A and B are shown apart, each in its own frame.
Chain A
Amino acid sequence: MVVSEAPPRAASGPGRRVGAVLFRHPALRLALMLLPAVLWLGGLYIGSLGILLTYSLYRLQEFTGLVVRDVGLSTYALLWQPANREIVVRTVAMAASVTVACAVLAFPVAYYMARYATLRMRTLLYLVVIMPLWSSYLVRSIAWRAILAGEGLLPWVLDRLGLDGLLRLALQAPLVGGPSLVQSKLSLFIVFTYLWLPFMILPVHAALERVPGSLLEASADMGARPRTTFRRVVLPLAKPGVVAGSIFTFSLTLGDFILPQIFGTSEFFLGQMVYTQVGVAGNLPLGAAFTFVAMAIMLVYLGAARRAGAFEAL
């Protein structure tokens, strides 16, 4: 009888030995996989936040312009100065109005995409919504400058339509007005809304797409007119999506420091203030303190969003 040969054993090189060890220790495998991300987030991100926090507790010696390394809350006390308080209020108001505008503009588009558009149309719209995100935000902002500038497209169109009076009226209005359209909060608001709109459309669309058509039929079946169906069924079910989108629009506006330099009045916004204090004025403690203001606002916002069910929609 012929004894059949044993199948060739796997060659045992160092690579194989490592593989075998990893195979036997799933916890080690997991640790190795997560290590780079943990180092990146934990080390760099949390670490730098720690440094920032430390700096916010230091203060600036006004005469020498040097950072005094005494731990205290004196820098935070500076935030309470009227000028600084105004910056926070102004920024939050801008973020809130941009968020509301995005929600109002995004909803019909998302609703159309989710409920009426054919597959082709939906793909096309997806592309149209996402495509701007592929190009530089700076380029698009500058392009808007060309549209909104005194000799730009929008004033020209308004002029042709005989609506230039409307524009002048808007620029004279308190809060939103300014010497010209580019130098007004109105233009800042317009461009912010344009920039962040895709971040609202996509989550709202995702939420609406998960609402089965039979729910709308059931509502009508039980006697609800379209308006009631919208208010009682569509809106509550879309809410998590709107709130999820608002996290983007709100936080992106809150932290932006470039757009207020291109558009708007000379009044400062939060992100711009951080940028100026750290980069120009060399007041690292105040810049760090402003950063924590923005973070605190966002934490409060996220807490509210979580209660509204936004994280179930993501």
Chain B
Amino acid sequence: MAEAATAIRRGRPNEAASEAVRFVGVTKRFGDVVAVDGVDLEIRAGEFFSMLGPSGSGKTTCLRMIAGFERPTQGRILLGGRDVSGLPPFERDVNTVFQDYALFPHMTVADNVGYGLMVRKIPKAIRRDRVAEALDIVRLRGFEDRRPAQLSGGQRQRVALARALVLRPSVLLLDEPLGALDLKLRQAMQVELKEIQQRVGLTFVYVTHDQEEALAMSDRLAVFNHGRVEQVGAPAEVYERPATGFVAGFVGVSNVLEGEAARAVTGSPRAVTIRPEKIHLELDLDAPVDPAHHHATGTVTKVVYLGAVTRYTVALEAGGELVVMQQNLRTSSMEALQVRGRRVRLVWDRQHSRPVEPGDDPGTVGSDDPGKGGR
């Protein structure tokens, strides 16, 4: 398997500066709808880059423009420094793993994986070897003669991946490839995809609406909203220092204090966001407060016990609302639930009050669901 990976691996770029994909002022309109609105983006060679955003945010359209299925209305797209904006998909050195896998139902697994090689008129013997190599990487040897209909969802996903890897593209595009899998399989495939990406050293551009997936897998990620890129950065950067209220809310839980509420806590009306796990919840309202800390009092309105952690929603007396995540170090579910309705004090280090551009609030997309929050 290791040799197979090396065979597909491309020479890793020596310079960090070498870019795989660049968007230059790209806008895409469908009729009156602006799907992508002036996006500038640079994706470095060899990195695992995620495009994260809610549905309709333009991330998939961006991916499809890299693949060549859509043409930008304005702007240019460069692949490895070359303008490909006008090239059809079959003349671009990129391959796609489709959301629905798009496996050819009338072909075997081997024919599916070997399709691109067959189109390029690679001799049969070489084709067979390279198909075997690619199937090795996704651990599907022995399935060559099956039809897609005879495979499970996870296996189909692997075939789709092998089919895209076998052509050794400069960039591999993945359009929510794990969306159709169940939670356990999805988590296993996240680890495996990341591993494969590191082994083959290809540039992966990964579209997802799942913030945890993006945080877990990416070297860098771009957060999309309304066709624009709100922030680009490493996962920790985007999570710890969200640039806008939208990013704060979409990547994590929306904990934004604005206006009067912000002034009451920080002394300035500038909007700030605080990550819920940075906040400490205290039942003793009279304990002295360290001047290096911000604090606020409020009433616990909601308690969600998630096993490892408990999520408290606290309505502040200064206005606004904060979500607090506490590890259940000594708390049981009973004790956690008893806090509901009580007045509490929230305390956190000043440095965790991050100023943000007030943006539209995405709510708590992707993390309001206890099942997802527990991951």
Contact surface of A with B, Cβ cutoff 8 Å: 212, 214-215, 217-225, 228, 232-233, 236-237
In the complex, which of the residues B90, B100, B163, B164 contacts A220, with contact meaning CB atoms closer than 8 Å?
B90
A223 to B90, CA, bound (A): 4
B375 lies within 8 A of chain A by Cβ: no
Q: Are B89 and A217 in contact (CB under 8 A)?
A: yes
Q: Which residues of B contact A225 (CB under 8 A)?
A: 90
Closest 3 CB pairs between A and B? A222-B116, A214-B102, A218-B102
- Residues in chain B near residue A220, CB distance under 8 A: 68-69, 88-90
Give the residues in chain A near B163, CB-CB below 8 Å: 218, 222
Contacts of B116 in A (CB 8 A): 222-224
Residue of B at shortest CB range from A225?
B90
Contact B102 A215 (CB under 8 A): yes
Give Cα A115–Cα B253 distance, bound, in whole angstroms: 42
B119 touches A217 (CB 8 A): no
Smallest beta-carbon distance A80→chain B, Å = 42
Q: For residue B96, which residues in chain A have a CB less than 8 angstroms away from its CB? A: 217-218, 221
The yes or no answer to B167 lying at the interface (CB within 8 A) is: yes
Instruction: Report the Cα distance A22→B366, complex, angstroms.
Output: 54
> Could you name 28 residue pairs across A and B whose Cβ atoms are closer than 8 Å?
A212-B100, A212-B102, A214-B102, A217-B89, A217-B96, A217-B98, A217-B102, A218-B96, A218-B103, A218-B104, A219-B104, A221-B69, A221-B89, A221-B94, A221-B95, A221-B96, A221-B164, A222-B90, A222-B115, A222-B119, A222-B167, A223-B119, A223-B167, A224-B90, A224-B115, A225-B90, A232-B115, A237-B105
In the bound complex, CA of A218 to CA of B99 (Å) = 11
Say whether A224 contacts B69, CB under 8 Å: no
Encode contact with A along B81-110: 1 for CB under 8 Å, 0 otherwise. 000000011100011101110111110000
> Do A215 and B90 have beta carbons less than 8 Å apart?
no
Q: Which residue of A lies closest to B173 (CB)?
A: A221
B184 within 8 A of A: no
Question: In the complex, what distance in Å separates the CA atom of A232 from the CA atom of B104?
Answer: 10
Q: A157–B28 Cα gap in the complex (Å)?
A: 48
| In the complex, residue of chain B having the shortest beta-carbon distance to the beta carbon of A228 | B119
A212, B115: Cα distance in complex, Å: 17
Chain A residues with CB under 8 Å of B103's CB are 218
A residues within 8 A CB of B330? Answer: none
State how many angstroms separate the Cβ of B210 from the closest Cβ of chain A.
Answer: 21
Q: How far is the CA of A218 from the CA of B94 in the complex (A)?
A: 11
- Tell whether, in the assembled complex, residue B106 and residue A236 are in contact, meaning their CB atoms are under 8 Å apart: yes
Interface size class of B (residues with CB under 8 A): 20 to 34
Most A Cβ at <10 Å: residue of B68, B102, B167: B102
A217-B100 Cα distance, complex, nearest whole Å: 12
> CB-CB < 8 A to A214: which residues of B?
98-100, 102
Alpha-carbon distance A224/B104, docked complex (angstroms): 14
Nearest CB of chain A from residue B189's CB, rounded to whole Å: 19
- Shortest Cβ distance from residue B99 to the other chain A in the assembled complex, whole angstroms: 8
A223 CB contacts on chain B under 8 angstroms: 90, 116, 119-120, 167
CB-based nearest B residue for A224: B119
CA distance A223 to B96 in the complex (A): 11
CB distance from A14 to the nearest CB of B (A): 53
Q: Does residue B67 face the partner (Cβ distance < 8 Å to A)?
A: yes
B-chain residues with CB within 8 Å of residue A219 when the two chains form the complex: 104, 115, 119
* Chain B residues near A221 (CB-CB < 8 A): 67-69, 89-90, 94-96, 164
Closest to B175 in A: A214
- Find the residue from B88, B99, B104, B164 having the highest chain A CB count within 10 A: B104
CB distance from B327 to the nearest CB of A (A): 43
| Nearest neighbor of A216 in chain B, beta-carbon distance | B102
Query: How far apart sit A221 and B119, CA to CA, in the bound complex (Å)?
Result: 11
Nearest-Cβ distance from residue B77 to partner chain A, whole angstroms: 15
Check B167 against A217 for contact (C-beta < 8 Å). no
19 A-B pairs besides A219-B119, A236-B106 with CB distance below 8 A are A214-B98, A217-B69, A217-B96, A217-B98, A218-B98, A218-B163, A219-B115, A220-B89, A221-B67, A221-B89, A221-B96, A221-B164, A222-B90, A222-B116, A222-B167, A223-B119, A223-B167, A224-B116, A232-B115
Q: How far is the CA of A217 from the CA of B99 in the complex (A)?
A: 12
Max chain B Cβ within 10 angstroms of own Cβ: one of A215, A218, A233: A218
CB proximity of B291 to chain A, nearest CB, Å: 59
Nearest-CB distance from A175 to chain B (Å)? 37
Chain B residues contacting A232 (CB-CB under 8 Å) are 115, 119
Q: Given the complex of chains A and B, what is the CA–CA distance between A47 and B120 in angstroms?
A: 59
Scoring B residues 147 to 165 as 1 if CB is less than 8 Å from chain A, else 0, what string do you get?
Answer: 0000000000000000110
- Minimum CB–CB distance from B67 to chain A (whole Å) comes to 6
Query: Taking CB as reference atom, which chain A residue is nearest B114?
Result: A222
Q: How distant is the Cα of A236 from the Cα of B107 in the complex, in angstroms?
A: 10
**Given A219-B115, A221-B96, A224-B90, residue A237 in contact with residue B106 (CB < 8 A):** yes
Q: From residue A62, how far is it (CB to closest CB) to chain B in Å?
A: 56
Complex Cα distance, B102 from A224, in Å, reads 15
CA distance A228 to B104 in the complex (A): 14
Contact string, B128-162, partner A, CB cutoff 8 A, digits 1/0? 00000000000000000000000000000000000
A237 to chain B, nearest CB (A): 6
Chain A min CB distance to B342 (Å): 51
Residues of chain A contacted by B69 (CB below 8 angstroms): 217, 220-221
